[in-house]
């Protein structure tokens, strides 16, 4: 197999395992087994665990950018795009209840380890913050755009944290709906009908 393809497979397997089990709790052997590779060969592709982490963060940055671009393409109005962000909580509820938010839990773990990559992981939050701020700016809230963006991140992170602890789907839906109500209040020009709660 081509080295780049194997590297891609390793990175994707590590991405999933880091999310499901955590960075420290995932061993080389776990990743190698997931890809169907021997431990020895593994080191041909990645020399250290930190190198894998770097590749995983790069992958998540790329995936996040693609997701945000998809949301932007999927809705003409900034309010609808923000709703896509909120809806993510419902769409990913199973994973969130089992393993939390991939971004928040990674940042938290790396902060405790005082890992060199902790700031790079925080840039994942930065992507969401900047993208949300852009939508609020387009809605005429330029002065408050970053504050409003961070407030949405706060609530989504809090929902994820408590959903992991209590594993209560109703709670997620209710708090997501409350976020939409808040959004409507911040954007008085918006029609109520544009802010119904997603069911998917």
Partner DNA sequence: GTCTATATGGGGATAGAC
Partner DNA sequence: GTCTATCCCCATATAGAC
Question: Does residue 99 belong to the site contacting its own copies (CB under 8 A)?
Answer: yes
SS3 172: helix
Question: Does residue 28 belong to the site contacting its own copies (CB under 8 A)?
Answer: no
Which one of 28-36, 66-74, 123-131, 149-157 is the stretch in contact with DNA (CB under 7 A)? 28-36
Number of residues that bind DNA (CB under 7 A): 22
Question: Does residue 2 belong to the site contacting DNA (CB under 7 A)?
Answer: yes
* Interacting residue with its own copies among 98, 116, 143, 181 (CB under 8 A): 98
Of residues 175 and 194, the one with the C-beta less far from its own copies: 175
186's contact among DNA, its own copies, none, with CB below 5 to 8 A by partner kind, is none
The site string for its own copies over 147-176 (x = CB under 8 A, - otherwise) reads x--xx-xxxxxxx-xx-xxx----x--xx-
- Cα 179 to Cα 90: distance, rounded to the nearest angstrom: 12
Question: Does residue 100 belong to the site contacting its own copies (CB under 8 A)?
Answer: yes
Which one of 14-22, 47-55, 138-146, 157-165 is the stretch in contact with DNA (CB under 7 A)? 47-55
Nearest alpha carbon to residue 131 among 145, 151, 120: 145
* Interacting residue with DNA among 20, 21, 29, 77 (CB under 7 A): 29
Question: Does residue 109 belong to the site contacting its own copies (CB under 8 A)?
Answer: yes
Nearest alpha carbon to residue 160 among 84, 112, 82, 108: 108
- Cα 180 to Cα 174: distance, rounded to the nearest angstrom: 10
What residues have CB less than 8 Å from 136, skipping those under 6 apart? 78, 82, 142, 144, 145, 148, 149
What is the maximum span of the chain, computed from C-alpha positions, in angstroms?
61
- Cα 116 to Cα 134: distance, rounded to the nearest angstrom: 29
> What single string gives the DSSP state of each residue in 12-66?
HHHHHHHHHH-TTT--HHHHHHHHT--HHHHHHH-SSHHHHHHHHHHHHHHHHHH
> Using CB under 8 A as the criterion, which residues of the chain lie in contact with its own copies when the complex forms?
20-22, 24-25, 98-101, 104-105, 107-109, 111-113, 121-122, 125, 147, 150-151, 153-159, 161-162, 164-166, 171, 174-175, 178
Binding site for DNA (CB under 7 A): 1-4, 6, 26-30, 36-41, 43-45, 47-49
């Amino acid at each position: 197999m081509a080295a780049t393809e194997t590297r891609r497979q390793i990175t994707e397997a590590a991405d999933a395992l880091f999310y499901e089990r955590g960075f420290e709790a995932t061993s080389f052997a776990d990743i190698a087994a997931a890809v169907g590779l021997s431990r020895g060969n593994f080191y041909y592709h990645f020399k250290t665990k930190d190198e894998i982490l770097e590749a995983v963060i790069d992958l998540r940055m790329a995936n996040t950018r693609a997701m945000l671009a998809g949301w932007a393409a999927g809705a003409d109005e900034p309010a609808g795009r923000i709703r896509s962000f909120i809806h993510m909580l419902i769409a990913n509820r199973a994973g969130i209840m089992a393993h939390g938010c991939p971004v928040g839990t990674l940042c938290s773990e790396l902060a405790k380890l005082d890992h060199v990559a902790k700031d790079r992981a925080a840039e994942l939050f930065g992507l969401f913050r900047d993208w949300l701020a852009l939508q609020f700016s387009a809605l005429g809230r330029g002065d408050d755009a970053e504050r409003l963006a961070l407030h949405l991140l706060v609530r989504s992170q809090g929902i994820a944290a408590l959903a992991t602890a209590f594993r209560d789907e109703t709670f997620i839906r209710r708090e997501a709906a409350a976020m939409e109500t808040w959004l409507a209040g911040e954007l008085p020009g918006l029609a109520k009908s544009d802010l119904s709660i997603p069911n998917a």
